[in-house]
């Protein structure tokens, strides 16, 4: 008998009977029929469970039931299911969740497309919604595309994943000691070695909310699982050689990744300015000088180079004040052409000596400690092309938490949402590091070789969208853009610029990167 294409793995322990029958019905109703379902029964105490599983195995040759001799927990039961899997692919399914009818068909199609193109897929996940105990679905979760930084902070791909069985076996299957976070630990290890990872942007499974489940509580009912997740993320960081510490975050089931600050890489901070002043928090300030002072005060580094690109009308007293800032290594570069923010940044980069370039507006105030060294630390990781911080308006509302491009919009995510843990965003994304489609040019860090490779900022966009264009150029090189929630600055944007966007600017951008109505935004978290 030929091997099935997909083996569905389900550990079974005292599921709610009605919910389990829904799970059974959803598997039997799959439009893709070449499957094996391995049910590993972990000594349930409910009398109906084993007889029902035996009945299922007798009714369909595709169903394999393993009856464990003693209760061993989710990891032991899952490994027993994996050991009996015969399929090229394995699909992970909880004993009370429900699959959409085309779930396996849609997932297998992604693997087939990868195999046909010579770019094999090793891991795929889908969108989801929640299902109440009585079977009503709600709160569809349209997930971001593969986002490894986000995944370190939150197991957002959740239950219905499909993985290449050979790779699962190679990384050691489910590991003892990670009960409750065993899927997160497994997927971390699989994705470290996966050739390609795919998100299927379609709701293919319904996550059941039953009393005490993670779907119902967000992880709060299972502190042991939270601790196991911290260990899983820490070991993942250690395997990749990322100098960082994993710890519990603000919300149950979420984690923080605290990187060791980069105190050695030479950094140049490029600041375009015209020396403007304004009232902030009730006091007059010369923007550029206070920006530099705040960065110095919030950095452990003593070797920062500030390249200040100033327009000719900049007041002489501002230039003198810049030269007098104590502890600052400042290089003043006059810009004599008509205003062009992109050109000023490019000129500043030419005069900078650092291996990493930080482009910083002149109307900022560093808030978090070590903001520069934290901002540049992820750039040591291969695959990270650019980073950006959380920016706040002076009234403590979000100015920047990533920029979306596609699905009908170009916009700042969570613009003017209050900055408070009670306003966490879907699945807590305002309080986790994560990949984004674009970053604001008000503050970004990029390695010099990446900046030069993509040709810097396009000078055809002198005011707006030059940062979005630059971000998309970096992403086009296969590099990730990481937004850092705990690197924080204030941005007094209204003081220094006119926010009006012109149609011709939007047209330049969309002609190059696609109409936002036809491009799918890949990294925003969407629930409805």
Q: What is the pLDDT of residues 316-345, one digit of tens each?
A: 999 999 999 988 899 999 999 999 999 999
pLDDT at 218 over 60: no
Segment 124-132 mean pLDDT: 96
The model's confidence at residue 47, banded by pLDDT at 50, 70 and 90, is very high
**Same-domain status, 192 and 289:** no
The model's confidence at residue 496, banded by pLDDT at 50, 70 and 90, is very low
Radius of gyration of the chain (CA): 26
Q: How many CB atoms sit inside 10 A of residue 305's CB? A: 18
Residue finishing a domain among 158, 184, 217: 217
Predicted confidence (pLDDT) per residue in 185-217, tens digit: 999 999 999 999 999 999 999 999 866 555 544
**Same-domain status, 364 and 470:** yes
pLDDT at 240 over 70: yes
**Same-domain status, 191 and 273:** no
* Dist. CA 360–CA 289, nearest whole Å: 13
The model's confidence at residue 426, banded by pLDDT at 50, 70 and 90, is confident
Take residue 378 and report the two structure tokens written for it. Answer: 């992820």
Q: Which of 129-143, 379-393, 451-465 has the lowest mean pLDDT?
A: 129-143
Predicted confidence (pLDDT) per residue in 242-294, tens digit: 999 999 998 899 999 999 999 999 999 999 999 999 999 999 999 999 999 99
The model's confidence at residue 302, banded by pLDDT at 50, 70 and 90, is confident
Residue 205: its pLDDT value, please? 95
Which CATH number is 56's domain given? 3.90.550.10
Residue 449 lies in a domain: yes
**Same-domain status, 421 and 507:** yes
Residue 498: its pLDDT value, please? 58
Predicted confidence (pLDDT) per residue in 446-482, tens digit: 999 999 999 999 999 999 999 999 999 999 999 999 9
Residue 341: its pLDDT value, please? 97
**Same-domain status, 384 and 458:** yes
**Same-domain status, 132 and 25:** yes
What percentage of the chain carries pLDDT values higher than 90?
88
Residue 255 lies in a domain: no
Segment 217-224 mean pLDDT: 64
**Same-domain status, 195 and 332:** no
**Same-domain status, 340 and 274:** yes
Q: What is the mean pLDDT of the chain?
A: 94
Q: CB-based burial of residue 392 (10 Å sphere; 0-12 exposed, 13-18 middle, 19+ buried)?
A: buried
The model's confidence at residue 219, banded by pLDDT at 50, 70 and 90, is very low
CB-based burial, 240-262: b 16+ in 10 Å, e otherwise: eebebebeebebbbbbbbebebb
Residue 328 lies in a domain: yes
Residue 214: its pLDDT value, please? 56
Residue 270: its pLDDT value, please? 98
Residue finishing a domain among 187, 217, 247: 217
Segment 65-71 mean pLDDT: 97
Query: How many residues would you count in the chain?
Result: 528
Q: Are 449 and 327 in contact (CB under 8 A)?
A: no
**Same-domain status, 203 and 275:** no
H-only helix segments in 194-313: 214-217, 223-240, 287-297
* Dist. CA 190–CA 206, nearest whole Å: 24
Residue 228 lies in a domain: no
Measured N-to-C along each axis, helices 466-476 and 503-513 cross at an angle, to the nearest 10 degrees, of 0
Q: Are 342 and 505 in contact (CB under 8 A)?
A: no
Residue 258 lies in a domain: no
Residue finishing a domain among 217, 242, 258: 217
The more confident residue out of 484 and 302 is 484
* Dist. CA 291–CA 271, nearest whole Å: 9
Alpha carbon 46 to its chain centroid, in Å, reads 40
Instruction: Look at the chain and report how many structural domains it folds into.
Output: 2
Residue 247 lies in a domain: no
Distant-in-sequence, close-in-space partners of 278: CB < 8 Å, separation ≥ 6 = 284, 285, 287, 363, 492, 495, 496
**Same-domain status, 445 and 315:** yes
**Same-domain status, 213 and 295:** no
Segment 23-38 mean pLDDT: 98
| Domain region containing 272 | 267-527
Residue 335: its pLDDT value, please? 98
The model's confidence at residue 525, banded by pLDDT at 50, 70 and 90, is low
Residue 281: its pLDDT value, please? 93
pLDDT at 500 over 90: no
Residue 286 lies in a domain: yes
**Same-domain status, 203 and 302:** no
What percentage of the chain carries pLDDT values higher than 70?
96
Give the predicted TM-score (pTM) of the model. 0.93
Predicted confidence (pLDDT) per residue in 478-495, tens digit: 999 999 999 999 999 854
Residue 120: its pLDDT value, please? 97
Residue 399 lies in a domain: yes
């Amino acid at each position: 008998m030929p091997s099935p294409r997909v083996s569905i793995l389900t550990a079974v322990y005292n599921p709610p009977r009605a919910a389990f029958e829904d799970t059974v019905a959803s598997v039997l109703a799959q439009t893709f029929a070449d499957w094996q379902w391995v049910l590993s029964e972990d000594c349930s105490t409910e009398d109906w469970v084993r007889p029902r599983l035996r009945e299922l195995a007798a009714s369909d040759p595709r169903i394999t039931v393993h009856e464990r001799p003693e209760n061993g927990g989710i990891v032991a039961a899952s490994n027993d299911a994996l050991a009996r899997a015969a399929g090229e692919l394995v699909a992970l399914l909880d004993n009370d969740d429900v699959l959409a009818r085309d779930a396996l068909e849609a997932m297998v199609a992604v693997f087939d497309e990868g195999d046909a193109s010579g770019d094999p897929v090793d891991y795929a996940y889908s969108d989801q919604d929640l299902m109440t105990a009585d079977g009503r679905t709600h709160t569809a979760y349209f997930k971001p595309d593969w986002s490894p930084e986000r995944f370190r902070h939150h197991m957002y791909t959740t239950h219905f994943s499909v993985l290449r069985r050979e790779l699962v076996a190679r990384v050691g299957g489910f590991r003892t000691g990670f009960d409750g976070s065993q899927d997160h630990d497994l997927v971390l290890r699989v994705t470290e070695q996966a050739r390609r990872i795919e998100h299927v942007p379609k709701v293919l499974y319904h996550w059941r909310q039953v009393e005490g489940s993670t779907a119902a509580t967000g992880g709060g009912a299972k502190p042991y699982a939270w601790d196991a997740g911290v260990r899983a993320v820490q070991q993942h960081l250690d395997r990749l050689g990322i100098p960082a510490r994993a710890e519990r975050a603000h919300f149950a089931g979420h984690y923080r990744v605290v990187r060791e600050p980069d105190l050695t890489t030479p950094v140049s901070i490029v600041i375009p300015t015209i020396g403007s002043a304004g009232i902030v928090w009730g006091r007059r300030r010369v923007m550029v000088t206070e920006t530099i002072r705040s960065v110095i005060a919030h950095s452990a580094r003593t070797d920062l180079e500030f390249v200040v690109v100033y327009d000719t009308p900049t007041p002489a007293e501002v230039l003198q004040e810049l030269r007098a800032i104590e502890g600052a290594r400042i290089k003043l570069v006059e810009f004599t052409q008509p205003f062009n923010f992109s050109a000023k940044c490019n000129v500043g980069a030419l005069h900078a000596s650092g291996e990493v370039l930080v482009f910083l507006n002149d109307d900022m105030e560093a808030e978090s400690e070590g903001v520069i060294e934290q901002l540049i630390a992820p750039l040591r990781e291969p695959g990270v092309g650019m980073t950006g911080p959380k920016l706040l308006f002076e009234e403590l509302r979000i100015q920047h938490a990533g920029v979306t491009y596609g699905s009908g919009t170009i916009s700042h995510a969570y613009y003017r949402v209050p900055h408070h843990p009670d306003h966490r965003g879907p699945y807590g994304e305002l309080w986790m590091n994560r990949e984004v489609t674009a970053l604001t040019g008000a503050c970004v860090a990029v390695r010099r070789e990446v900046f030069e490779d993509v040709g810097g900022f396009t000078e055809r966009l002198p005011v707006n969208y030059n940062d979005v264009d630059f971000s998309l150029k970096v992403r086009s090189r296969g590099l990730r853009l990481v937004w850092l929630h705990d690197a924080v600055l204030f941005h007094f944007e209204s003081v220094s610029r006119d926010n009006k966007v012109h149609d011709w600017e939007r047209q330049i951008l969309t002609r190059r990167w696609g109409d936002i109505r036809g491009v799918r935004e890949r990294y925003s978290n969407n629930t409805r």
